[in-house]
Structure 1
Amino acid sequence: MPNPVIGFIGYGAMARPMGTNLQKAGYEVFAYTPSGRISGAQALPTPRSVAEKADVIIFCVPNDAAENNALHGPDGALAGLDATKLVIDTSTVSPDQADTFAALAADHGFSLIDAPMSGSTPEAEKGELIMLVGGSDQAVQRAKPILDIVGKLTIHAGPAGNAARLKLVVNGIMGATLNVIAEGVSYGLSAGLDRQVVFETLQHLAVISPHHKRKLKMAEEKNFPSQFPTRLMSKDMGLLIDAGRKAGAFMPAMAVADQALALSNNRHSDEDYSALIGAMERSVANIAHK
């Protein structure tokens, strides 16, 4: 059987390398973005046209509002989805949004898995994302050949909506850990330690993940290319705090990180979220020169 046709709704920094890897594996790839600017895939004019053209529709949009805009209306994806289609939602959205999408799938008869990825653009380019998926066993198995191309590991978190919740666990730990590292750097520099010694030491510690060592390298070089922009990390932390409040979870460290990243977002929205370390370093420098 020929490979199913793939259609992306949203074709930004994470979707593009996923699409490229699928094309290399022999899949035909179409895409829609609101801006109309698409590189590396065949462009389509509306979400509906993607849903009608493709067998498998991959959502990769930044937030709940963008997803709803792509779903609803005469040109929305829902108008083109039927029981033959599989939707893979790789967006990081709120648990409420994931549950609403699952209800829409049940009402309209199409298959759906929520499949937010863990990893940044380097992992996406290498096809080494970790795919967190929620949905029926049948839907997950249908998606597996695609998931195996864009990722190195698929974790089935349970029913639809569970992966959205698990993704907030992952990103909450990422954000809170980054904030703790930034605070440590802030203290070390405030205490008069040599800057190079601080950053070099942290690169050798086993308790700091390879992901965060990459962020420390950006901070050391004072250059924050946007592998994971602050605006998206800040958004995810906000989703987590809201979901945690509803669930009655106790998350004081993550709440502090949410506030720190919200502050950093004011000036570093499109820079990598590791710019928080740079912002704390500059605050220390400002105090030192007073």
Structure 2
Amino acid sequence: MTQLSPENASKIGFIGYGAMASRMGTHLKKAGYSVTAYTPSGKSPDPSVRMAGTPRDLAKQADTVIVCVPDDEALAASMYGEHGALAGIKTGTLLINTSSVSPEATTRLADAGKKVGITVLDAPVSGSTPEAEAGSLVILVGGSANDIENAQPIFNAIGKVTIHAGPSGCGTRLKLVINGIMGAGLTTLAETIAYGLAAGLDRTMLFDALDQVAVISPHHKRKLKAAKDSNFAPQFPGRLMQKDMRLLLDAAAREAVPVPTIAATTQMLSLGRRKYPNEDYSALIGIMEKLVANDT
């Protein structure tokens, strides 16, 4: 199968072109691809990118369609119906869904793609805006080995590692596993930092000490450094992390897997989403710190 290099599949259509997708698009353009985008607002962070009027219009022009939208509802709105991408996509086109959505939404899209003669890869990414900026995302792909090999030049342009998670749907499921670990780890940090402060530990010492220990991941150390300065600029907005916890909680229930830690994490991140939906999900650290400060 021929790989989708700039020489034989140069036109990429991006549905959803926000903080993550626009950074991916920049790397794809550097690799020689042309990028057209669609957003519901008609706006793009990159004014040099041509915007399509509807997902259908975009799909008609593209050799490969990449989708990067926030949730199941946005995916359905962009894929289905009279103006959806599937109404205009060409037979043989590859559709790469990088969105973090439910396993059910992933299965529906794969089945719909078969009906119109296209291949769909679920390929959510692990990493936030810094990794997207650096082109060092980890791509978690569900699909056949041949289809993934076909798309590899695109994945190489936006990421440092491509993981073949298994058949269609497995990329989505692996993404939920990874984000569950992220969310639970951050919630534990928020709670234990609150305890330390309430117990009288010096704030600067506490944050600096946690930055030195091996039990905390590099990702969470980055969050700690920002939280020390009360910087919760959105690299991964709280509304999206809470959504992923909700998806994992539902997916685990469907498999009859008890996940009480994830259930508690979802509740804590719901608090974060309620207070600061568009700030980074690590704003939960700040919420817990304020709670302790107000009680002392």
Instruction: Assess same fold via TM > 0.5.
Output: yes
1:21-36 → structure 2 map (5 Å cutoff): 21-36=27-42
Unaligned ranges ≥5, structure 1: none
Distance 2:188 2:166 in 1: 31
Code of the residue aligned with 2:59 in structure 1: it is A
Shifted more, 248-257 versus 278-287: the winner is 248-257
Q: Does 1:92 align with 2:100?
A: yes
Code of the residue aligned with 1:8 in structure 2: it is F
Q: CA deviation at 1:253?
A: 1.1
Q: CA deviation at 1:4?
A: 2.4
Aligned partner of 2:169 in structure 1 is 161
Q: Does 1:44 align with 2:52?
A: yes
Distance 1:147 1:35 in 2: 27
Aligned partner of 1:216 in structure 2 is 224
Distance 1:123 1:39 in 2: 17
Aligned partner of 2:134 in structure 1 is 126
Aligned partner of 1:243 in structure 2 is 251
Is the 1:3–1:26 contact (alpha carbons within 8 Å) kept by the matching residues of 2? no
Q: CA deviation at 1:84?
A: 2.0
Size of the alignment, in residue pairs?
A: 288
Is the 2:232–2:282 contact (alpha carbons within 8 Å) kept by the matching residues of 1? yes
Q: Does 1:189 align with 2:197?
A: yes
1:141-180 → structure 2 map (5 Å cutoff): 141-180=149-188
Aligned partner of 2:21 in structure 1 is 15
Q: CA deviation at 1:42?
A: 1.2
Aligned partner of 1:57 in structure 2 is 65
Unaligned ranges ≥5, structure 2: 1-6
Q: Structure 1, residues 50-105: CA drift from partner, whole Å, max 9, x if none?
A: 11101000000000000000011211101112322000000000011001111111
Q: Does 1:108 align with 2:116?
A: yes
Is the 1:31–1:50 contact (alpha carbons within 8 Å) kept by the matching residues of 2? yes
- TM-score (normalised: structure 1): 0.98
Is the 2:242–2:269 contact (alpha carbons within 8 Å) kept by the matching residues of 1? yes
Is the 2:193–2:285 contact (alpha carbons within 8 Å) kept by the matching residues of 1? yes
Aligned partner of 1:259 in structure 2 is 267
Distance 1:39 1:124 in 2: 14
Distance 1:268 1:208 in 2: 24
Q: CA deviation at 1:3?
A: 4.2
Is the 2:97–2:123 contact (alpha carbons within 8 Å) kept by the matching residues of 1? yes
Q: Does 1:6 align with 2:17?
A: no
Q: CA deviation at 1:164?
A: 0.5
Q: CA deviation at 1:2?
A: 4.0
Other structure's SS at 1:196 match = helix
Runs of 4+ in 1 over 3 A off after TM superposition: none
- TM-score (normalised: structure 2): 0.96
Distance 1:91 1:208 in 2: 27
Distance 2:209 2:45 in 1: 41
Q: Structure 1, residues 198-232: CA drift from partner, whole Å, max 9, x if none?
A: 10000001111111011111110011010000000
Other structure's SS at 1:14 match = helix
